[in-house]
Amino acid sequence: MFQRTAVNERNTRVQMLVRLLFGMMTALLVLPVLIILGLLIHRGGPALSMEFLFDEPSNGMTAGGIMPALVGTVWLVAVALIASVPIGVAAALYLSEYAKDNWLTRAINLAVINLAGVPSIVHALFGVGAFVLFFKFGTSILAASLTLAVMTLPVVIVATRESLQAVPQAFREACWNMGATRWQTIRKVVLPNSISGILTGVILEVSRTAGETAPIMFTGAAFFLPFLPESVYDQTMALSLHLYVVTTQVPNVPEHLPYGVALVLILMVLALNAVSIGFRTWLRGRKKW
C-alpha cells in the first residue's frame, strides 16, 4: 500500500496553493468585466427599445435613437475587415511559408511589431494624410476604414502567422513527397488547418475596430448625420464617436442614454465575436489532428 511521505504532503500543499493563486488571478480578470457589464445593463437597460435602435437622434441628440451610428459602425467594421484580412493573411503566408530567415524578414517582423505599438491618434493623422488628402478619398467611410485596417493589420498578421506555424511540418513534407507544389500544399493543407487561428485574429480585429474613436474622428465619422450612408464615399456616424459626443459635448443628456449607447456597442461586439467563435469551434472540430 502506498504511504504518503512528507515530500508528497508538501507537493500537495504547493499544488493547492498554485491552483488557488491561478484561480484568484482568473477571478481578478473576469470580475471587472462582469462589473462593467452589470453596470451597463443596470443603467443602460432602460434605454433599450425598438425606437432606440431604429430611430434617428433628435432634440439635439438628447433623445431619439442610434440607427445611423449603428449602421455606420457596421459599415466601418465590414470595410476594414475586407481591406485588412486578405492583406494580413497574405503577408503572414509570405513570412511563414516563403520568406527566408534573413535581415529583410527580421526587419519586416520588427516593423509589424512596431506598428502594433503605434498610438491610435498617430494612425488617425496618418489616415488624414494618406487616405483623405493624398488619395483624395475625403472624409468618408473608405478613408476611415482603411485607417482602421492599417491599425489592425499587425493583429491579423501575428495571429495568422502563429496559426500557420502551428501546422505540423510533417504535413507539408508529406504533400511535397507526393509531388504537390508549395502553393498546392498551402491551399489544400496548411490554410484549412490554420483557419481557426486566423479567425482568432479576425475576432480581435472586430473588437478593436468597433471601439476605436480617434482614427475615425478625423477621417470619416460625423458628429451628427441623421441619414444612412449609401456608399463608402459617404460620411457616417459611429457608435464609439456618438458615445463620446453625447457624454462630453451634448448638454442635458438623460443619464441612461450614454449607458444605452455603450451597452449596444458592447452587445454588438459580443454578438460578432460569438458568431466568429462558433464558426471557429466548428472548424476546430473538423481537424484531423
> The C-alpha cell of 261 is what?
449607447
pLDDT at 287 > cutoff 80 = no
Q: By CB neighbour count within 10 A (0-12 exposed, 13-18 middle, 19+ buried), where does 102 fall? A: exposed
Q: Per-residue pLDDT averaged across 228-250, rounded?
A: 90
* Mean pLDDT of the region 149-156: 91
The reported pLDDT for the residue numbered 33 is 85
Smallest CA-to-CA distance from 245 within 46, 54, 72 is with 72
- Give me the pLDDT at residue 222, please: 87
* 1: confidence class by pLDDT, cuts 50, 70, 90: low
pLDDT above 90 as % of the chain: 31
Grid cell in block for residue 128: 488624414
**pLDDT above 70 for 68:** yes
